[in-house]
Structure 1
């Protein structure tokens, strides 16, 4: 455990920079920021955000001990929301991919769950995606369900394909909205822009006004450079308005890669903190995000017995601090 007293010369330093100086090379700045976001460091006994500026005389204390992500990372890193004989619902942390893929060297969700749920590896259609019926972007957090047997995998997959699963996200986006709700119906394609590998592009808005309640395009407009497009529909409603930012409840009707992030970027309201779909400099704020402000806050589906199940996932500490700081 560490305890540091802020000296006069350190007045006005940001908390993460202060800890970088104090801890030296024993921990990277990224890991220090993650620890602060998780509430593992306090200032005068209170949890604060990464961008907190220190005052002389304050006490900076390691509250819970810092956990390192390593090859030995296990289920302890992943909170289990619910567990039945048929499925497990977890609270996926930001920065962890759901399943192995080329270019991913860190432990993934399915690898973290392997010891406790070895049966996952006999479930599904792809050995690289055992038990996986849907995904959440690596940088996004929240509720994720995995099937523990093939019958449940087929049952859940059918519901996802027929859009019977209800997924709700909480997002903080740049800018403000006139209307309290809206629909974004814009097909998605893979970006061909140099240096934007992996980025998804929503088709141009074809002159649609961005003050409208919904953004749609006709089928005739749904083609670009002969690239294959994927239908994508995102509904949303305003939860709270702040100066220069809006907190939204988001309901994706389809489940495309980067769908929510690409859709809101396309209409001029990118997700706050998104490193890939970032927006205008005019929306810069005093808070610092090391991830997109996008969280899968609940998932609802029908189990094999015919009962509707809903599993919520609370907003992570770092995101709660930012909302509170904005006046939420």
Structure 2
């Protein structure tokens, strides 16, 4: 029998909404979490919560039932959410369905592997029973990783890239390396850089965005709240009027960028994130009034440009990843822009 999943609320999460907290912890939408709460698949300190919007407290013990945990990964008879069913994959291919996208191995050591994730695939499965994810690929190629990590649907995975983004990811092959990487992320000593193409002419050659981030109150996306500015006067986009800043669910976030190249109506940015919030670069640049090209979620409909449709994907690529290995030596990896992004830039020149 699969064991229930147990989460203890940290000091950092104190006073967050229950559904907001769990949506982040489980990588689910708030609506999905709310359905789980309504069906009494979740308990807080041994009791079903009265409402999804109640606040969690430091030290609360939250349990997700084994039935719910099973649905979070994949509904397979052997409770194996990550091993692909080859017959199913073959059947999909024979029916002319979407091809399986495959990550590229950049580096391989006994302790970790570094991959390049293509756009269009998730880092790990969610409730939708996806087969084509980085986690599926990793476990099929390196079965030992299945036992590494804190969550069976995220084996060896210590950080994520959005489905629409591409670029570098490090995956731990051992529990020791997993804990080592996790500690580095906690201490913010891992360095990550991205190339992102933004709409409009970004005025500053360098800037830092420090808007706190939380989930939108009614939409399955994140929201950022500019600090101490009046959006209309400061030129900052009020990202979402449904930002629930009064429930203490917001988290600090810091994004730094430099101008890489300027185009007539676009700006190529080199971006460095100092925190790892969900959709951080996308929501920060949207709030900064320069949304990313090709972003289907964080863009005003009236600003949607033909170039967004022409590109056909999000222009966000993780180009650099640097961390300490178990020997304490810094390992740095770089990734060139995919061909479709370089070709797109040529059209803008």
TM-score above 0.5, yes or no: yes
Q: SS in structure 2 opposite 1:319?
A: helix
Post-superposition offset of 1:283: 6.3
Counterpart-to-counterpart distance in 2, 1:301 and 1:69: 35
- Alignment: residue pair count: 246
Say whether residues 1:266 and 2:287 are aligned partners: yes
Match of 2:171 among 125, 129, 146: 146
Q: SS in structure 2 opposite 1:168?
A: strand
Q: Please, which runs of 5 or more residues in structure 1 have no aligned partner? A: 1-66, 216-221
Q: Is the 8 A contact 2:198 2:292 kept in 1?
A: yes
Match of 2:251 among 230, 236, 242: 230
Match of 2:267 among 241, 246, 249: 246
Aligned alpha-carbon RMSD (Å)? 2.2
In structure 2, the residue matched to 1:157 is 182
Post-superposition offset of 1:289: 2.1
Which structure exhibits the higher relative contact order, with contacts defined as CA atoms closer than 8 Å and separated by 6 or more residues? 1
In structure 1, the residue matched to 2:198 is 173
| Within-5 A mapping of 1:1-328 | 69-70=98-99, 73=100, 77-193=102-218, 196-197=219-220, 199-205=221-227, 206-207=229-230, 210=234, 224-279=245-300, 281-282=302-303, 284-286=305-307, 288-327=310-349
Counterpart-to-counterpart distance in 2, 1:210 and 1:95: 35
TM-score if structure 1 supplies the norm length?
0.70
Post-superposition offset of 1:163: 0.6
Q: Please, which runs of 5 or more residues in structure 2 have no aligned partner? A: 1-95, 238-242
Q: Is the 8 A contact 1:269 1:279 kept in 2?
A: no
**Pair 312,68 (structure 1): closer, same or farther in 2 beyond 3 Å:** farther
Post-superposition offset of 1:187: 0.7
**Pair 210,165 (structure 1): closer, same or farther in 2 beyond 3 Å:** farther
Post-superposition offset of 1:271: 0.5
Which of the two has greater helix per residue?
Answer: 2
Post-superposition offset of 1:223: 7.0
Q: SS in structure 1 opposite 2:146?
A: helix
Counterpart-to-counterpart distance in 2, 1:211 and 1:276: 20
